[in-house]
Amino acid sequence: MKLDELKNKKVLILGFGEEGRDTFLFLRKMFPQKILGIGDSLKLDELNNRARKLIKKGKRVKLHLGKDYLKSIKNYEIVVKSPGIPPKLIAPYVSLQKITSQTDIFFENCAGKIVGITGTKGKSTTTALIYEILKRGGKKAYLVGNIGKPVLSLLPKTKKDEFYVYELSSHQLHNLKISPHIAVLLNIYPEHLDYYKSFKEYTKAKSNIARYQSKKDFLVYNTGDKLTREIAKNSKAGKIPIRGKFYDLNRNAAKAVGKIFKISPKIISKTINEFKYLPYRLEFVGKFKGINFYNDALSTIPQATIGALDALGKKVETIMLGGYDRNIDFLGLAEKILKRKIKTIILFPTTGEKILKEIMKYSKGKKYKLPEAFFVDNMKDAVRLAFEHTGKGKICLLSTASPSFSIFRDYKEKGDLFKKYIKKYGK
C-alpha cells in the first residue's frame, strides 16, 4: 500500500506487539495529526510496559482493547494487521476495509532493493548468512523482518543503493501483492495448520514471494522440493536452481545470492566458513560428563528433526521429541529413528505418545530394535534422564519435531531450560 493511500483514511493498527508499536511510531511520524486506532486482544493492564508507555504518551489515539477488539474494524477504512493475527479470525468483521501490513507498506514504498527469504525451515539461518555475505562484499545491507528490525522505522531513510535482507514468514507474505527483487524459496512443509484454513492456503501464502516477480528479478529455489519447483514454474524471474539438505541448502542459497551480486567467491567462502549458526538451531551447548548436547529447539516439524539427525550422524543416541499437536504425520520421523538405531527417546506431551505409536507401527514385522522410551512433562526430568541414558562420546539432541506450546511458552523457553538443566546436572 502506497503512503498516499493512508493519508486521509481512518487507520486501525491491529495487534500491538513489537511490530504494531513500530507501525504506530511510523504512522505518527508520517501523519502527526491523524487519529490512530489501536486494537489488541489484551486489556490495557495486560500489555507490556513499552506498549503502555506509548499509549500513555500518545495523543489522538482511540483504544479498542480486550476480547471484543475485532468489532472495532467496522469503524475504519484501512487495517494494518500484525502477522500473528490469522486472516480467518478477522474475516467475519471485514466488509469494505482494506487490509494491509508492515511488509506490504514497506515493499510498496522502499527505495532500495529487497532480498526476500522464505521457507518452512532454514529461513533465519539463510537470511543471516546472506546479510553477512552482502555486508562483507561491500554492500549497504540491512537485516530486517522476523530475524531483524521491524521495517517501518527504516522506511523514510531507504535509498536506491541499499539492500534489505528480509526474512519473510508465510504470515507476512499472505495477501502480499508485490514480490522482492531477489526471492529465495527454500522448502514448504505442513506447518501453521492451526493458522490457515488448509495446507493449500499456507502454500499459496508462501508462493507470493515469487508470484509478482518480473523478468528483471531473480528466484533462487530448491529443486529438491516439489512445491518450490511448482512455484518456480509460474515465476517470470530469472531462475537459479539449488539443491541440498539442511545447512547445505542454506549455504547454497546464500552462495547463489552472493553470485547475483558479483561478490567474490573468496569472500563468500570465508563468510560461510566463519559464520556462527544461530541459537536454538542445531546449537552445540557443550560437552558435559562426556556427552555432547545439541539444542535444536526451533525444529518444530518432523522434516527439520530428520535434517538434524542427518547433520549430526550416527552419534545421536538420545533424542527429545514431542509437543503441541498440529495433526502432522510422524511416519517419516519414526522410520528415521529406527534406521538410525536411536537408543533412547524422551517424549513430551502431547505428540510424544503419537510419535511412539508411529515408531511401534513402523517397526511391526521388521527387525528394528525399539528405542527405550520415557514420558516426561518437564525439562528438568528430561535432562536428568538424558544424563542417565546417554553414553560418553555420544549425542543428546533436543529436536522435538513439534511446536513448544504444550508445556513451554515457546521454543526459546524450551531451549533455555534445556541449557539450564544441562549445566546444572553436568557439574
Q: Indicate if 235 and 112 belong to the same structural domain.
A: yes
* Domain at 31, CATH number: 3.40.50.720
- How do residues 75-119 score in pLDDT, each as one tens digit? 999 999 999 899 889 999 999 999 999 999 999 999 999 999 999
pLDDT-derived band of residue 270, with 50, 70 and 90 as boundaries? very high
Burial of 31 (0-12, 13-18, 19+ CB in 10 A): middle
CB distance 267 to 137 below 8 Å: yes
User: Position of cell 487490509?
Assistant: 99
Residue-range definition of the domain harbouring residue 223: 104-274
pLDDT at 184 over 80: yes
CB distance 270 to 258 below 8 Å: no
Q: What is the pLDDT of residue 58?
A: 74
Residue 3 falls inside a structural domain: no
For the chain, the residue count is: 427
d(CA 419, CA 427): 13
Q: Indicate if 192 and 139 belong to the same structural domain.
A: yes
d(CA 133, CA 123): 15
d(CA 106, CA 83): 14
Arithmetic mean of pLDDT, 173-184: 94
Residue 29 falls inside a structural domain: yes
Q: Indicate if 168 and 220 belong to the same structural domain.
A: yes
CB distance 73 to 14 below 8 Å: yes
Residue 178 falls inside a structural domain: yes
Q: Indicate if 301 and 395 belong to the same structural domain.
A: yes
Q: Indicate if 207 and 318 belong to the same structural domain.
A: no
Arithmetic mean of pLDDT, 59-81: 95
Residue 124 falls inside a structural domain: yes
Residue 2 falls inside a structural domain: no
Arithmetic mean of pLDDT, 49-71: 91
Q: Indicate if 293 and 403 belong to the same structural domain.
A: yes
Q: At 399, give phi and psi (nearest 5°).
A: -155, 85
Residue 343 falls inside a structural domain: yes
- How do residues 327-338 score in pLDDT, each as one tens digit? 889 999 999 999
Q: Indicate if 163 and 268 belong to the same structural domain.
A: yes
Q: What is the pLDDT of residue 146?
A: 79
C-alpha closest to that of 263 among 136, 378, 366, 156: 136
Q: Indicate if 248 and 389 belong to the same structural domain.
A: no
Q: What is the 3-state secondary structure (H, E, C) of the chain?
A: CCHHHHHCCCEEEECCCHHHHHHHHHHHHHCCCCCEEEEECCCHHHCCHHHHHHHHHCCCEEEEECCCHHHHHHHCCEEEECCCCCHHHHHHHCCCCEEECHHHHHHHHCCCEEEEEECCCCHHHHHHHHHHHHHHCCCEEEEEECCCECCCCCHHHCCCCEEEEEECCHHHHCCCCCCCCEEEECCCCCCCCCCCCCHHHHHHHHHHHHHCCCCCCEEEEECCCHHHHHHHHCCCCEEEEECCCCHHHHHHHHHHHHHHCCCCHHHHHHHHHHCCCCCCCCEEEEEECCEEEEECCCCCCHHHHHHHHHHHHHHEEEEEECCCCCCCCCHHHHHHHHHCCCCEEEECCCHHHHHHHHHHHHHCCCCCCCCEEEECCCHHHHHHHHHHHCCCCCEEEECCCCCCCCCCCCHHHHHHHHHHHHHHHCC
d(CA 69, CA 24): 17
Q: Which of 78, 100, 122 is the last residue of a domain?
A: 100
pLDDT at 136 over 90: yes
Q: What is the pLDDT of residue 278?
A: 83
C-alpha closest to that of 128 among 279, 275, 294: 275
- How do residues 29-55 score in pLDDT, each as one tens digit? 999 999 999 999 999 999 999 999 988
- How do residues 188-238 score in pLDDT, each as one tens digit? 988 776 778 888 999 999 999 999 999 999 999 999 999 999 999 999 999
Arithmetic mean of pLDDT, 260-268: 97
Q: Indicate if 292 and 182 belong to the same structural domain.
A: no
- pTM of the prediction? 0.85
d(CA 265, CA 255): 8
Q: What is the pLDDT of residue 125?
A: 92
**Residue, of 185 and 149, whose pLDDT is higher:** 185
pLDDT at 166 over 90: yes
- How do residues 391-400 score in pLDDT, each as one tens digit? 999 999 999 9
pLDDT-derived band of residue 61, with 50, 70 and 90 as boundaries? very high
Mean pLDDT, rounded, of the chain: 94
* Domain at 142, CATH number: 3.40.1190.10
Q: What is the pLDDT of residue 81?
A: 96
pLDDT at 319 over 90: yes
Count of the separate structural domains present in the chain:
3
What type of residue is 60? R
- Cα angle vertex 283, ends 278, 287, to 5°? 150
Q: Indicate if 180 and 242 belong to the same structural domain.
A: yes
* Domain at 419, CATH number: 3.90.190.20
Residue 1 falls inside a structural domain: no
Q: Indicate if 162 and 111 belong to the same structural domain.
A: yes
Q: Which of 48, 82, 100 is the last residue of a domain?
A: 100
Q: What is the pLDDT of residue 158?
A: 95
Q: What is the pLDDT of residue 188?
A: 93
Residue 415 falls inside a structural domain: yes
Q: Indicate if 84 and 44 belong to the same structural domain.
A: yes
Q: Which of 257, 274, 291 is the last residue of a domain?
A: 274
Residues in a beta bridge with 294? 284, 397
Cell of 11: 487507520
